């Protein structure tokens, strides 16, 4: 459904009133409140969000990539409704619910047979911390190589992996000295040798700290770092290096997993099988669900539980989220979303490229995970975060929900629900075109 704006201004009066109420009860470090943000959501369906003022928006980020199969998917609603009448909560590692086993079996069936055991959790940060712990108990080494501008969550373990100083600066005293950040291979900024440069950094860091380092963690497409796609062959080279040096390779596919990039999982693009994979977002259908998945050989490095698990959580394998997960898997398989997303992603990518604006440095990504990097000048590629923020704010006024990402917030991120139509894409890109034209015209007038 195309957007419909009925308020005279965005945010509307009800959203502004709720912002004032929220300001009184929530830590100021969380929700960004300004004259332009936020809108408060009231209901959703497929690709659309309705706010408390009755405006209908087109969600171009599927709520942080979560609502892949669509907001309020009918199958997910039915599954959790049926489950809620039977069992809402279980005792995940003491007296587990039956549906936890059923979900884990279906989940693991999506992976190659080598990846046959999992740890369930509630969010991406939890899954990454499960991977960190698993890697350490297996390799007996605490050190890990991660990537600059990678995002793996904000719990202390995951925050140690997350690179952006904005997230880390107030907590550095609590972070370890065992995470080593290296440049992510960015062909747009570093040319055809980007992969080789990055691998050389990895080799240098490893050989200086080989007694400490036991694993490498990477997003196969970097998400919040700017939707950066590594050059073809890099992931294979990284896997080979890890094998040669007895390092575990961890893929964070929280964002890329479950058909988002045109494959069921991004590791399939180059047929590179990680030792450990973290998944989340789409799989919960809107409910909090994630998993760390690896081989039984690696998972067996954990001591067998004696009744007091050393890594667990209250909501481990919650029946409602497992029911949602089963519904999502069925929907993914029934609708062949990976192929549809590949085709729709190419359509969206081509439409964005056709904007041919002087401030668009590059449109990149795979499937329905795309980024449009904005620069002040195509020659020197200086980031243009002010324009990215302007587009985000002005798009919201037109009924489009889009977010910024990248090292300086200068890239627009597109990860819409898989149910988005070409008509909705055409509408969105046309609105971006009009906003850009107005911006360029105003700039020219200001410079006269």
- pLDDT 10s digits, 281-313: 999 999 999 999 999 999 999 999 999 999 999
Q: Is the distance from CB of 6 to CB of 55 less than 8 angstroms?
A: yes
Spatial separation of the C-alpha atoms in residues 254 and 132, rounded to whole Å:
15
Tell me: the pLDDT tens digits for 151-188? 999 999 999 999 999 999 999 999 999 999 999 999 99
Spatial separation of the C-alpha atoms in residues 185 and 196, rounded to whole Å:
8
Cα 302 to chain centroid, rounded: 28
Q: Is the distance from CB of 218 to CB of 150 less than 8 angstroms?
A: yes
- DSSP-derived letter for residue 276 is E
Cα 72 to chain centroid, rounded: 19
Spatial separation of the C-alpha atoms in residues 280 and 267, rounded to whole Å:
15
Spatial separation of the C-alpha atoms in residues 87 and 96, rounded to whole Å:
11
Q: Is the distance from CB of 83 to CB of 319 less than 8 angstroms?
A: yes
Spatial separation of the C-alpha atoms in residues 111 and 329, rounded to whole Å:
12
Tell me: the pLDDT tens digits for 76-105? 999 999 999 999 999 989 999 999 999 999
Bond prior to 38 in cis (omega within 30° of 0): yes
Give the strand order in the sheet containing 400-401. 41-45, 48-51, 56-59, 400-401
Spatial separation of the C-alpha atoms in residues 252 and 217, rounded to whole Å:
7
- Annotate 57-73 with DSSP letters as a single string: EEESSHHHHT-TT-BT-
**Residue 448: pLDDT above 60?**
no
Record the tokens describing residue 167, joined without a space. 């997230």
Spatial separation of the C-alpha atoms in residues 194 and 443, rounded to whole Å:
34
Comparing C-alpha atoms, which of 112, 114, 132, 143 is closest to residue 297?
114
Q: Is the distance from CB of 294 to CB of 38 less than 8 angstroms?
A: no
Q: Write a three-state SS string for 352-404.
A: HHCCCCCCEEEEEEECCEEEEEEECCCCCCCECHHHHHHHHHHHHHCCEECEE
13-72+337-446 and 74-335: identical CATH topology: no
Spatial separation of the C-alpha atoms in residues 143 and 158, rounded to whole Å:
13
Q: Which CATH class is domain 13-72+337-446?
A: alpha beta
Give, in order, the Cα–Cα distances in Å from 320 to each of 44, 80, 83, 101, 331.
20, 5, 6, 13, 17
Spatial separation of the C-alpha atoms in residues 354 and 15, rounded to whole Å:
35
The reported pTM is 0.97
Write the CB contacts of 444 (distance below 8 Å, at least 6 apart in sequence). Answer: none
Query: Which percentage of the chain shows pLDDT scores above 90?
Result: 97
Domain segments of the chain as ranges: 13-72+337-446, 74-335
Instruction: Quote the pLDDT of residue 447.
Output: 65
- Where does residue 65 fall: left (phi above 0), alpha (psi -120 to 50 degrees), or beta otherwise? left
Mean pLDDT of 311-318: 95
Tell me: the pLDDT tens digits for 41-67? 999 999 999 999 999 999 999 999 999
Task: Report the CATH fold assignment for 74-335.
Answer: 3.40.640
């Amino acid at each position: 459904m195309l957007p419909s704006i009925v308020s005279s201004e965005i945010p509307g009066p009800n959203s502004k009133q709720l912002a004032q109420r929220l300001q009184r009860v929530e830590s100021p470090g969380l929700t960004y409140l300004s004259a332009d943000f936020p809108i408060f959501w009231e209901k959703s369906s497929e690709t659309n969000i309705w706010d408390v003022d009755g405006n209908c928006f087109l969600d171009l980020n599927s709520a942080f990539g979560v609502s892949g199969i669509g907001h309020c998917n009918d199958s997910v609603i039915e599954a959790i409704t049926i489950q809620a009448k039977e069992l809402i909560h279980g005792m995940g590692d003491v007296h587990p619910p039956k549906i936890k086993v059923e979900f884990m079996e279906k989940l693991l069936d999506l992976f190659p047979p080598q990846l046959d055991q999992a740890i369930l959790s509630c969010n991406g940060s939890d899954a990454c911390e499960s991977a960190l712990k698993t890697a350490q108990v297996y390799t007996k080494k605490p050190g890990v190589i991660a990537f600059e501008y990678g995002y793996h969550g904000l719990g202390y373990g995951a925050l140690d992996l997350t690179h952006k100083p904005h997230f880390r600066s107030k907590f550095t005293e609590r972070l370890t000295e065992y995470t080593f950040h290296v440049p992510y291979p960015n062909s747009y900024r570093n040319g055809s040798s980007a992969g080789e440069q990055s691998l050389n950094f990895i080799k240098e860091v490893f050989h200086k700290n080989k007694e400490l380092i036991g694993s490498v963690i990477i997003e196969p497409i970097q998400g919040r770092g700017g939707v950066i796609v590594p050059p073809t062959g890099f992931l294979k080279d990284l896997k080979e290096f890890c094998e040669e040096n007895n390092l575990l390779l961890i893929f964070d596919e929280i964002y890329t997993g479950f058909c988002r990039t045109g494959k069921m999982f991004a590791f399939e693009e180059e047929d590179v099988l990680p030792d450990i994979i973290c998944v989340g977002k789409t799989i919960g259908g809107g409910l909090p669900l994630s998993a760390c998945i690896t081989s039984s050989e690696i998972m067996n490095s954990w001591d067998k539980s004696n009744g007091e698990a050393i890594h667990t959580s209250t909501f481990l394998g919650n029946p409602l989220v497992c029911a949602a997960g089963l519904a999502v898997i069925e929907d993914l398989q029934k609708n062949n979303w990976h192929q549809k997303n590949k085709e729709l992603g190419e359509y969206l990518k081509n439409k964005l490229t056709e904007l041919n604006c002087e401030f668009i440095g590059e449109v990149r990504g795979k499937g329905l995970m795309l980024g449009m990097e904005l620069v002040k000048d195509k020659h020197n590629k200086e980031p243009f975060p002010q324009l990215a923020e302007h587009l985000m704010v002005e798009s919201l006024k037109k009924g489009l929900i889009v977010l910024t990402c990248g090292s300086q917030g200068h890239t627009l991120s597109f990860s819409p629900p898989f149910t988005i139509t070409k008509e909705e894409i055409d509408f969105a890109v046309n609105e971006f075109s009009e906003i850009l034209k107005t911006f360029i015209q105003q700039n020219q007038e200001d410079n006269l």
